[in-house]
Amino acid sequence: MAPPWWEFFHFKLVRKLIDDVDFCIFGAIYEYKPPSSHCNDSIVSIDGNPRYVIAFRGTITKPDSFTRDFELDIHIMRNGLHQTSRFEIGMQAVRNMVATVGASNVWLAGHSLGAAMAMLAGKTMAKMGNFLEAFLFNPPYLSAPIERIKDKKVKHGIRFAGSVITAGLALAARGKNPRSRSEDPFSALSAWTPSLCVNPADHLCSEYIGYFEHRKKMEEIGAGAIERLATQHSLGGLFMSVVGKGVEAAEPLHLLPSANLTVNLSPSNDFKQAHGIHQWWRPDLSLKCSLYKFK
């Protein structure tokens, strides 16, 4: 809808991704088209530019799109995004593009709801051995807002207790379901390192900060084995498995082995600004960047 945003960076719109329910545009595929003087096949490997970008938008509050978008947001909360027709349309576009041009030539991008779409697509492809570059802005992490607690000792204590309980339930679930003993959901994903951009004032994504930092602290105090087990599981999902419900439920979207985490430390006036995409365009950002790799 706004060509200058991609044409300025030498991209060409290849295809719009249309939802089959409300027929709105939820994403697009772009092809990198540098100036003719630079147009050659080596540009991708030399400059590190993608040949194609598949981008997914976030929730739109306009009447003609909000109902469907809100429905998708609910599916994220219930770990059911993979069951929606919108995701399947987007996933098929990703599969087709990778099959045509190769995984190294395709990048994924998304904001908020779109970041969840891109993350799930990236995780799906990574489990098949295709590791796509992914740039996820304000990706949702639905949990209690522990990161908002100012007292570091209290915050660490809550996370430590949560890790112990989660690890215990994970062991109980393994005992009840012998098949899970040989299954490691992180092993296939450990080589995939998406780039996550989050804001600590945005409670929808700020828990990624604690998710990765706590893993590091647990290693430092000698409790790495507990955290390595806990970080692979959701407390709610494990509880339902142990009591005999939800055994076949999909793994929560936020469970990631590795990530390039960029935290926006610039002040935000309100939640809307902290969660919005516009913040990432500012030239005066104060950023903290950390690489986390699952051992």
pLDDT tens digits, 78-129: 888 999 999 999 999 999 999 999 999 999 999 999 999 999 999 999 999 9
Are residues 132 and 50 both part of a single domain? Answer: yes
**Residue whose token pair is 């804001």:** 199
Are residues 84 and 192 both part of a single domain? Answer: no
Are residues 43 and 163 both part of a single domain? Answer: no
Are residues 34 and 155 both part of a single domain? Answer: no
Q: What confidence score (pLDDT) does residue 181 get?
A: 46
Lowest mean pLDDT of 21-30, 94-103, 135-144, name the range.
135-144
Of 71, 105, 137, the domain-final residue: 137
Are residues 56 and 164 both part of a single domain? Answer: no
Are residues 232 and 170 both part of a single domain? Answer: yes
Are residues 151 and 133 both part of a single domain? Answer: no
Number of domains in the chain: 2
Are residues 102 and 163 both part of a single domain? Answer: no
Q: Are 119 and 137 in contact (CB under 8 A)?
A: no
| Confidence bin at 134 (pLDDT 50/70/90) | very high
Give pLDDT tens digits for 180-232: 444 566 777 889 999 999 999 999 999 999 888 877 777 766 766 666 666 66
Are residues 150 and 287 both part of a single domain? Answer: yes
Of 88, 110, 137, the domain-final residue: 137
Which tokens in the block code for residue 166? 């989660």
Are residues 64 and 175 both part of a single domain? Answer: no
Sort strands 287-292 and 259-264 into parallel, antiparallel or unpaired: antiparallel
Which tokens in the block code for residue 85? 């027709």
Are residues 251 and 231 both part of a single domain? Answer: yes
Are residues 30 and 160 both part of a single domain? Answer: no
Segments in 102-151 forming alpha helices (H) = 113-126
Q: Which residue from 279, 256, 254 is spatially nearest to 266, judged by alpha carbons?
A: 279
Domain enclosing residue 123, as ranges: 4-137
Of 137, 162, 190, the domain-final residue: 137
